[in-house]
A and B are shown apart, each in its own frame.
Chain A
Amino acid sequence: MKRLPAMPDEWLDRSRTVRFRFEGRSFEGLAGDSIASALWAAGQRSQGRSFKYHRVRGILSAANHDVNVMMQDGPKLNTRGDVVAVREGMDLTAVNTFGGLANDKARHLNKLSRFLPVGFYYKAFHNKRLFPLWEKMFRRITGLGVVDFSTPHIRTQKRYDFCDVLVIGAGPSGLAAALSAAEAGASVVVCDENARAGGSGLFQLGADGARRQHTVSLLQQVKAHPRIRLLEGTYAGAYYADRWVPLIDENRMTKMRAKSVIVASGAYEQPSVFRNNDLPGIMNGSAMQRLIYRYAVKPCNTAVVLAANADGYRVALDLLAAGAAVAAVLDMRASVPASPLADALRAKGVEILAGHAVYEAHADGKGELAGVTACRIDGSGRVVSGSQRRISCDGVAMSTGWSPAANLLYQAGTRMRFDDLLQQFVPEQLPEGVFACGKVNGVFRLESRITDGQRAGLAAAANAGFEVSGSITVPAETESPSHAWPVVAHPDGKNFVDFDEDLQVKDFENAVQEGYDNIELLKRFSTVGMGPSQGKHSNMTALRILARLTGKSPQQVGTTTARPFFHPVPLSHLAGRGFSPQRHSPLHGRHAALGAVFMQAGAWERPEYYAVPGKSRIDCIREEARRVRTAVALIDVGTLGKLEIRGPQAGEFLNRVYTGRYDNMKVGATRYAVMCDESGVLSDEGVVARVADDVFYFTTTSSGAATVYRELSRLNIEWKLDCGLINLTGSYSAMNLAGPASRKVLAQLTDMDLSSAAFPYLAVRSGTVAGIPARMMRVGFVGEWGYEIHVPAEYGATLWDALMKAGESSGIGPFGVEAQRLLRLEKGHLIVSQDTDGLTNPFEVGMDWAVKLDKPFFTGKRSLQIVRKMPLKRKLVGFRLGENHSGEVPKECHLIIQDGDIAGRVTSISWSPHVGRFIGLAFVLPSMSETGTAFQIRLTDGSMVNAEVCDTPFFDPKDERQKEIE
């Protein structure tokens, strides 16, 4: 191995030497080298250990799929050595070793392989008694890399982007497609996962310098084209509906939306299967070509090329051009097609052996390739006895076939078919707006790929709305690029199919024998394709083996499901900058200034309570509640849904959506409102206020606002009533001024007549408060004289300030959600979704009075008519704990137990300063709902607490607080 003279398209910056460490040793490479190429150039062929048997491994694909050459790079784990550029100062170690690459203690597992059959994990865990033992062991020996929990948080950006045509893959066909589409007028984005564009057009040369000119020319035109953006080092990670494709680069994920998508992603070269096909020195032919032309590294001194297509012959010629000797070309095909490539090799004295394969590879003392045994194979791929012949070499190039990089096509919903001539799955029916060209489309000859790209580019541009003319015909392939059976049996195994999971041919035979004989079952049982490379170099061979074992064709066997992402994406990219919209009421700043401790309520942040230095949370909440009961306090209720319906049939509309009756309300009145869904389940509640003959203003729960508005809007369109619905939730600020002194405070800010006669309980009035136009409702959710004041949002803070100032002499203060929950509980008022659930109907919670079954129609009426005739299954009741209860207090959702069975659950519970006991609401069996019925609540630890059913409201049952007090 040595560094070659400069190659025309090499990725190296020869002016910069890069020093780094690997496994404790110092190395040098050149800027632009991958870690693997730098190591290989320095003679370090062993670069990692395999997952299961800890066998020494080296470069396989040099194409981002070498999962046995993954390295720990400081806090970065599983760095792909075969493609990641080496950086100055890197300190790398191979992952998945115990004690280092050279002295990995787990290497002895290789000798225990016969005790680790396919499905070993499943079988191990079959024994419950030994489960913990196996679990502990597997957790210790599996997993790749070490997570450093002190890794600094990296915030990555995410962005969206748009184009007419997205081309995935910048090889010859992709570049041709991009140019063709751009020439038709489309804005084009071409992305390629490699650090530089050009793809195989710049390394599959067969020592023919003229061959690269096609790609060089295309690349120059693409880079110069004003309508094309070329994104190198960027891979398309997935395909989502409507042509959304996440593009992943080093720094971030871009969500690209295109009108047309062209998949020109090429094909993965597939390893051939023979004994010891994993020794360092054995690699795909294309990997050797990448080493030569991208990194100017001679892959080996003496090579054997295992071929079954023209590409293998080009590899041999490239090796010769790089100064390596080619001991033989073993062609698995029965005969070698006449071609200039074969002639050129013969002219250089290279022995070409048709109908030959590698029987097994031999290792030297370091476990690296030292030679192979070649053999003849018959038409079925069986080894011809006695034909073995040993050849010394330090490199084997495997060029026996390809598998289309069709992952994105599958995700897009492409129907694929297996082409027997090509021995490859090709698109049969592409989804609208998706196009394929090049190798993934079953087109392999260079000139044909370019033509196919032009065809796809024009079609994609046309799909994007650009005018194109003419049609392009792509010549059919005349030679199969893939061998139908690139497998050589060996009695001693170690002929690997899946390098991620160390799966050998016999593992598949055993799996099928055990009954896992379809592709999905085989995948899960054997774990083929479930490693980090996701089967890119194993699935096709596994499929061929399964087809042969079951007597089916590859088409009949089919492929497994391709799911996003097809290639690992850093979690930092997926996380990116998160957007979690927070909704703040116009009074949020006021709350913060008053020491509010906020709680999340849907999208809203609401004050749970207002912290007072030196006081506990519970004391603060009780003090806030006390202030409401004894003086006056203010709460922000702006999070309530606030809707208006206007028009001659507004009352009729409300009659239909709520269970009560609203068309008979007087202007200036409010009425409680209960909403049910079609099944009669209580879904929302609020207050309806009639502010004019044809105008109703109504509230919904905070959490239900958006849903209710959406559903009511839908119904308004469906019913075509003469009315319009307006969502004022964000437009209005609302606050509840509550307490015995509320009227006195409000009177300072308004000319309105606040007497009980002029503004009675449950009335709505419009006027001005502090000069601000306001709607006010006298409602009593917390059980005190109070005013719910609604004003334009931009005046909310001004009104809050005015009320707080006006209330100073009355001892005003703010109160939060927790105090409000306590106060309403004392009044026995339920909270929808806390005291109800997804099955609660109004009859279960004592709201019979709110359901007007005599109305012609309302949503849920039919269901409620049926439910009404059936016995109740549960009932919401008030309860209290013993007078001197001490010890743990039940929590919401603790179960109520009767005779050892579940008889209900607690929905609300709190200490009531007024009652002097813990009080609550609970669902119980109807038979338990009589006042005075004793029951038990089971705590989390299983202990029981005694409680008894009692009447509600717990506080002011006759609403005396709403009557005139002056």
Chain B
Amino acid sequence: MNAPFAPTRISPLFDEQAPHAAKWTQVETMQTVASFGSADAARLPLAGIGDLSFRRRAGVKGPGAAAWLNALGIATPERMNSWLRMDDGTLVLRLGNTEYLVEDMPGGGRTAQMSATAPTHGVYPVPRYDAALIVAGRNALELTRQTCAFDFTTLSPAAQGLAMTSMVGVGITAVAMESGGETYYRLWCDGTYGGYLWATLVEVASDLGGGAVGLESLGRLAQQ
């Protein structure tokens, strides 16, 4: 007998968010918090933590990875530990020398294309079901200072550098981006550590006047 219902994607942060969520929405077939309440909007300018796990992701590594991606029309950063954004909004992160993380814009199809294409010699697909966070607000840098030994000021949005480091004891990949002249950070981590990372960052953010922010208040940040 076949499936009685269509599968639903569950955010790795679901268990931590569920008790605090005020309103849910479904994006990219993933149940995601639309709002944590009326305080969302006030938190975001200070230290807002948002969940972008709904974006579809795929990884690939190996000596043939770059050529394989390029053959699929996916651009790859020239420098190790850097990132680029393609014209269609697709985010491509080069992790070390020969590993790449590709993240679709909502509605994008690059990762589906990768999954549907057989790997060639020297290409090793890496399924990615990360917890994906955004940290924004004028206290975002201070939040990183209280949670991470890495200096986030070295991740300028213009330089498009990337750091693989440890935050609150959890291995993360981090980049800095810019929106309206304000720097914000994108973080990715193993989904099984995501709940802890989320809860801890929200706790620290609350000391800084911020906290969890749902998709509705993230607005444009969630679409970039």
Whether B129 and A792, one on each chain, are in contact in the complex, defined by CB atoms closer than 8 angstroms, is yes
A159-B145, A257-B151 known; A794 vs B191 contact (CB < 8 Å): yes
A160-B148, A795-B10 known; A730 vs B191 contact (CB < 8 Å): yes
Complex alpha-carbon distance, A151 and B11, angstroms: 41
A residues 724-766 in Cβ contact with B at 8 Å? 724-726, 728-732, 747-751
* Chain A residues within an 8 Å CB radius of B122: 647, 722, 724
Whether A795 and B7, one on each chain, are in contact in the complex, defined by CB atoms closer than 8 angstroms, is yes
A304 to chain B, nearest CB (A): 52
Cβ of B62 within 8 Å of any chain A Cβ, yes or no, is yes
* Chain A residues within an 8 Å CB radius of B105: none
A588-B15, A724-B62 known; A794 vs B10 contact (CB < 8 Å): yes
* Chain A residues within an 8 Å CB radius of B191: 586, 730-731, 793-794
A581-B168, A747-B1 known; A589 vs B145 contact (CB < 8 Å): no
Cβ of B216 within 8 Å of any chain A Cβ, yes or no, is no
Cβ of B153 within 8 Å of any chain A Cβ, yes or no, is yes
Cβ of A592 within 8 Å of any chain B Cβ, yes or no, is yes
Chain A binding surface, main DSSP class = mixed
Whether B149 and A794, one on each chain, are in contact in the complex, defined by CB atoms closer than 8 angstroms, is no
Complex alpha-carbon distance, A159 and B145, angstroms: 5
* Chain B residues within an 8 Å CB radius of A728: 127
Complex alpha-carbon distance, A795 and B121, angstroms: 29
Whether A770 and B124, one on each chain, are in contact in the complex, defined by CB atoms closer than 8 angstroms, is no
Cβ of A103 within 8 Å of any chain B Cβ, yes or no, is no
Complex alpha-carbon distance, A724 and B2, angstroms: 34
Cβ of A122 within 8 Å of any chain B Cβ, yes or no, is no
* Chain A residues within an 8 Å CB radius of B148: 160
A582-B196, A584-B192 known; A768 vs B3 contact (CB < 8 Å): yes
Cβ of A494 within 8 Å of any chain B Cβ, yes or no, is no
A residues 834-873 in Cβ contact with B at 8 Å? none
Complex alpha-carbon distance, A160 and B154, angstroms: 14
A746 to chain B, nearest CB (A): 10
* Chain A residues within an 8 Å CB radius of B12: 586, 793-794
Closest-by-CB residue of A relative to B154 is A162
A-B Cβ contacts below 8 A, count: 138
* Chain A residues within an 8 Å CB radius of B2: 750-751, 768, 771
A581-B170, A589-B15, A726-B61 known; A795 vs B149 contact (CB < 8 Å): no
Whether B14 and A589, one on each chain, are in contact in the complex, defined by CB atoms closer than 8 angstroms, is yes
Complex alpha-carbon distance, A722 and B62, angstroms: 10
Chain B residue total in the interface (Cβ 8 A): 49
Whether A770 and B7, one on each chain, are in contact in the complex, defined by CB atoms closer than 8 angstroms, is yes
A596 to chain B, nearest CB (A): 12
B74 to chain A, nearest CB (A): 19
Closest-by-CB residue of A relative to B190 is A730
A767 to chain B, nearest CB (A): 11
A602 to chain B, nearest CB (A): 12
A706 to chain B, nearest CB (A): 10
B residues 159-204 in Cβ contact with A at 8 Å? 168-170, 190-193, 195-197, 200, 204
Complex alpha-carbon distance, A301 and B9, angstroms: 82
Whether B151 and A162, one on each chain, are in contact in the complex, defined by CB atoms closer than 8 angstroms, is yes
A646 to chain B, nearest CB (A): 5
Complex alpha-carbon distance, A794 and B9, angstroms: 5
A residues 449-507 in Cβ contact with B at 8 Å? none
Cβ of B21 within 8 Å of any chain A Cβ, yes or no, is no
* Chain B residues within an 8 Å CB radius of A257: 149, 151
Cβ of A797 within 8 Å of any chain B Cβ, yes or no, is yes
Cβ of B6 within 8 Å of any chain A Cβ, yes or no, is yes
Complex alpha-carbon distance, A592 and B125, angstroms: 33
B residues 1-36 in Cβ contact with A at 8 Å? 1-12, 14-15, 18, 30
B164 to chain A, nearest CB (A): 14
Cβ of B78 within 8 Å of any chain A Cβ, yes or no, is no
Cβ of A34 within 8 Å of any chain B Cβ, yes or no, is no
Whether B129 and A793, one on each chain, are in contact in the complex, defined by CB atoms closer than 8 angstroms, is yes
Complex alpha-carbon distance, A255 and B151, angstroms: 12
Q: Mark A571-585, 1 if CB is under 8 A from B, else 0.
A: 000000101111111
Whether A751 and B207, one on each chain, are in contact in the complex, defined by CB atoms closer than 8 angstroms, is no
Cβ of B85 within 8 Å of any chain A Cβ, yes or no, is no
Closest-by-CB residue of B relative to A728 is B127
B residues 56-113 in Cβ contact with A at 8 Å? 61-62
Whether B4 and A749, one on each chain, are in contact in the complex, defined by CB atoms closer than 8 angstroms, is yes
Closest-by-CB residue of A relative to B189 is A730
* Chain B residues within an 8 Å CB radius of A161: 145
Complex alpha-carbon distance, A952 and B3, angstroms: 40
B157 to chain A, nearest CB (A): 18
Whether B10 and A796, one on each chain, are in contact in the complex, defined by CB atoms closer than 8 angstroms, is yes
A717 to chain B, nearest CB (A): 11
Q: Mark A585-606, 1 if CB is under 8 A from B, else 0.
A: 1101100100000000000100
Whether B127 and A731, one on each chain, are in contact in the complex, defined by CB atoms closer than 8 angstroms, is yes
* Chain B residues within an 8 Å CB radius of A772: 3, 7
Closest-by-CB residue of A relative to B142 is A159
Closest-by-CB residue of A relative to B144 is A160
Cβ of B128 within 8 Å of any chain A Cβ, yes or no, is yes
Complex alpha-carbon distance, A583 and B170, angstroms: 10
B4 to chain A, nearest CB (A): 7
Cβ of A798 within 8 Å of any chain B Cβ, yes or no, is yes
Cβ of B146 within 8 Å of any chain A Cβ, yes or no, is yes
Complex alpha-carbon distance, A748 and B3, angstroms: 8
A158 to chain B, nearest CB (A): 7
Cβ of A898 within 8 Å of any chain B Cβ, yes or no, is no
B3 interface neighbour in A604, A771, A796, A797, Cβ under 8 Å: A771
A581 to chain B, nearest CB (A): 4
A159-B146, A726-B61 known; A770 vs B127 contact (CB < 8 Å): no
A770 interface neighbour in B4, B62, B147, B195, Cβ under 8 Å: B4
Whether B145 and A160, one on each chain, are in contact in the complex, defined by CB atoms closer than 8 angstroms, is yes
B106 to chain A, nearest CB (A): 16
A residues 535-591 in Cβ contact with B at 8 Å? 577, 579-586, 588-589
* Chain A residues within an 8 Å CB radius of B170: 581
Cβ of B221 within 8 Å of any chain A Cβ, yes or no, is no
* Chain B residues within an 8 Å CB radius of A679: none
A160-B148, A724-B124, A771-B6 known; A730 vs B193 contact (CB < 8 Å): yes
* Chain B residues within an 8 Å CB radius of A726: 61, 124-126
Whether A580 and B10, one on each chain, are in contact in the complex, defined by CB atoms closer than 8 angstroms, is no
B94 to chain A, nearest CB (A): 16
Whether A792 and B127, one on each chain, are in contact in the complex, defined by CB atoms closer than 8 angstroms, is yes
A159-B146, A162-B153, A726-B124 known; A770 vs B3 contact (CB < 8 Å): yes
A159-B146, A794-B191 known; A647 vs B129 contact (CB < 8 Å): no
A582-B195, A750-B1, A771-B5 known; A577 vs B15 contact (CB < 8 Å): no
Complex alpha-carbon distance, A582 and B193, angstroms: 7
A584-B196, A794-B191 known; A751 vs B1 contact (CB < 8 Å): yes
Name 25 A/B residue pairs within 8 A (Cβ), A-sorted: A160-B146, A160-B151, A162-B151, A255-B149, A579-B168, A579-B169, A581-B168, A581-B196, A583-B192, A585-B192, A644-B124, A647-B124, A726-B125, A728-B127, A748-B1, A749-B4, A751-B2, A771-B5, A771-B7, A793-B192, A794-B9, A794-B12, A795-B7, A795-B10, A798-B10
Question: 7 tightest CB-CB pairs across the interface, nearest first?
Answer: A771-B3, A724-B124, A589-B15, A730-B190, A581-B169, A793-B129, A162-B151
B residues adjacent to A (C-beta < 8 A): 1-12, 14-15, 18, 30, 53, 61-62, 119, 121-122, 124-129, 142, 145-149, 151, 153, 168-170, 190-193, 195-197, 200, 204, 207
Given contact pairs A160-B151, A646-B124, A729-B192, a sample of 17 additional A-B residue pairs in the complex whose CB atoms are under 8 Å apart: A577-B146, A579-B200, A582-B195, A582-B196, A584-B195, A647-B121, A648-B121, A724-B61, A726-B61, A731-B126, A750-B1, A771-B3, A771-B7, A794-B10, A794-B11, A795-B8, A802-B4
A residues adjacent to B (C-beta < 8 A): 157-162, 255, 257, 577, 579-586, 588-589, 592, 604, 638, 644, 646-648, 722, 724-726, 728-732, 747-751, 768-772, 792-799, 802
